[in-house]
Structure 1
């Protein structure tokens, strides 16, 4: 079964930081006070205001029964307001359940981190291990694919990492994102990578003390 709320949340997690980086003030799930009068009755996913224009962000997930009608309505509303425009982002096909990795599989992956000569490969495997650990620690919160930023916030909110470790993970998440999108010139420093490996090992040790959840097929 498609979880449209999870698909929307993950799409916004991925997209809204780009608007922030472009200088927009972004409000997620805005209240009436955050909207102009002509949008006051509209249930917006997000709005972004800037010096030159303003954006209403609408998430569309494949299979949503109301997506196209919402887009048509928004275009009609915005037609008389040239200082506002619509940006539609797509939440994929609707995330489905992701299996929870076994403890032995995670242990094997973490054990291989120090064996990888390429720092980029080690970072990506460390991040995969980190997310696998997060799924075990917070199974009800990670049924669907998670953005790197949400993985970090889940670990921080749950008290599984310290504020210093959370900041490290945010920085490493940025490097991870650039790597998987083709910036192969970027490499983590030896110090950063070692801190990530240490943090991952500490989380693995913590996981071993927790009741194990069942592996989903």
Structure 2
């Protein structure tokens, strides 16, 4: 199974949830569905509902599309009736085998998270933050995190090894609960910008430690 098929299946899986929220979903849209202000950029999907419109872009841990995501974020921030949702897709081509990401790849995603924060796409930054956090943890403790992990176990193991302080561990457990609720459709207890900023600061520090290891 290829990454492309995996992304197609991921998009198809979004449709029922978005429709239940009142959105009409367009996969790989073209004009006139794609708004003119996006110019030549073509997002993976667009969802249009009453009073709200979503631009949906998929990324993977190995994505080379950071520039596209940044460009979308910069364009959309000028249009408050539109929202960018960046969704992380795990490659289906490797099964449970996960590759340790390079320091450069991780830094690219940390930079993208900051851009999303600065563009007020806080929830998108938060979800991308967890994907990056797991990638950092895998660089720090490769044998422990060689397979996909739950956020709670990542925090527990990092805390046990002293990579995060007890207070940081408590904070990350609260964020892990918010992450789990958000990805399962609970849109009421969303992360705050300050929380995402502190989360990124912790990730930046751990990324620096992983580079030195």
- In 2: Cα distance, 1:96 partner to 1:198 partner: 29
- In 2: Cα distance, 1:184 partner to 1:113 partner: 20
CA displacement at 1:163 relative to structure 2: 0.7
Runs ≥4 residues deviating over 2 A: none
- In 2: Cα distance, 1:118 partner to 1:184 partner: 14
Could you say which structure has the larger radius of gyration? Answer: 1
- In 1: Cα distance, 2:202 partner to 2:98 partner: 23
Asked if 1:206 corresponds to 2:209, the answer is: yes
Asked if 1:154 corresponds to 2:171, the answer is: no
Q: How large is the Cα RMSD of the aligned pairs?
A: 1.3
Asked if 1:106 corresponds to 2:109, the answer is: no
Alignment match, 2:184: 181
TM-score, with length taken from structure 2: 0.52
Q: Which consecutive residues of structure 1, in runs of 5 or more, have no partner in the other structure?
A: 1-94, 211-217
1:153-209 Cα deviation digits (max 9, x unpaired): 111111111111111110110111011101133321122111111111111111121
TM-score, with length taken from structure 1: 0.51
Identify which of 193, 196, 199 aligns with 2:199: 196
CA displacement at 1:119 relative to structure 2: 0.9
- Secondary structure (helix, strand or coil) at the match of 1:141 reads coil
Alignment of 1:46-57 (within 5 A): none
CA displacement at 1:147 relative to structure 2: 0.7
CA displacement at 1:114 relative to structure 2: 1.5
Identify which of 129, 135, 140 aligns with 1:137: 140
- Secondary structure (helix, strand or coil) at the match of 1:142 reads coil
Asked if 1:169 corresponds to 2:178, the answer is: no
- In 1: Cα distance, 2:189 partner to 2:134 partner: 22
Q: Which consecutive residues of structure 2, in runs of 5 or more, have no partner in the other structure?
A: 1-94
